[in-house]
Amino acid sequence: MMAPVRGYTGRMALTKDDVIEALRQVEDPELGMDIVDLGLLYDVDVAGARVKVTYSLTSMGCPAGPLIEQDIARVVQEIPDVEAVDTELTFDPPWTKDRMSEAAKLALGIEDIIPISRLRR
């Protein structure tokens, strides 16, 4: 069993932030980064003990898609008090590198991580 979600003990209402923190354990195996920093996580909806995760992939033909979906379901199901997990894969809007965190862009060597407006100061 995975470690519990940091700060969540199962004694209070589950929040979207609890689920997002747990989803940092789900990595895209091709890129070696979590789906949150990669910007693949589009939305989390918590309704009592039911959680719906909407996510995307870097491309429609991503061979890691089934593994990522399985990991999302497994990680969320391991959160205390979660009884049901629904996953929804979407390509609307399509994923782009602009959805990535600055840390992910830096780690993957993607340029343009510093907005031009910050350079002009």
- Per-residue pLDDT reduced to its tens digit, 16-33: 999 999 999 999 998 899
Superfamily of domain 16-119, CATH level 4: Fe-S cluster assembly (FSCA) (3.30.300.130)
| For range 31-48, the mean pLDDT | 96
**Region of residue 109 (phi > 0: left; psi between -120 and 50: alpha; otherwise: beta):** left
pTM of this prediction? 0.81
Pairing of strands 84-89, 50-55: parallel
For the chain, the domains span 16-119
Decide: 6 and 48 in contact? Cβ < 8 Å: no
Range in 67-71, 98-102, 105-109 the model is least confident about: 105-109
- Mean pLDDT, rounded, for 89-101: 94
First to last CA, the chain: 48
Rounded CA-CA distance 91/119 in Å is 33
Q: Which amino acid is at 20?
A: I
Mean pLDDT of 73-79: 97
Please tell me which residue, 15 or 120, carries the higher pLDDT value.
15
